[in-house]
Amino acid sequence: MQKAPVAERALAARIHRHLTKDGKALRKNKPSSAAFATLGPYYVTSPAGVVATHVDLENFGRELGLLAEWEMLES
């Protein structure tokens, strides 16, 4: 079975919308930023601060139930 590709931006938007329900947010670093090495390309914040660093979008999307079994992150 061939999996349907989902754009990185689309998956990031799905995750961000899901997290905002809990007062959290998905953030993205630019590779040239100083925080990129510390936080990774994606990280999760809450009002209390950084909750997760170096977030793998595809795995995180699956954990949250936002990426179906028949979908994959577009490369």
What tens digit of pLDDT does each residue of 21-68 get?
Answer: 999 999 999 999 999 999 999 999 999 999 999 999 999 999 999 999
Letter for the amino acid at 74?
A: E
Q: Which of 11, 15, 1, 2 is nearest to 73 (CA)?
A: 11
Q: What are the boundaries of each domain within the chain?
A: 7-63
Q: What is the pLDDT of residue 62?
A: 96
The span from the CA of 7 to the CA of 37, in Å, is 24
**pTM of the predicted model as reported, rounded to 2 decimal places:** 0.90
Looking up tokens 């992150």, which residue turns up?
A: 73
Q: What is the pLDDT of residue 75?
A: 78
Q: Diameter of the chain by CA atoms?
A: 42
Element (H, E) at 38: helix 36-39
The span from the CA of 10 to the CA of 2, in Å, is 19
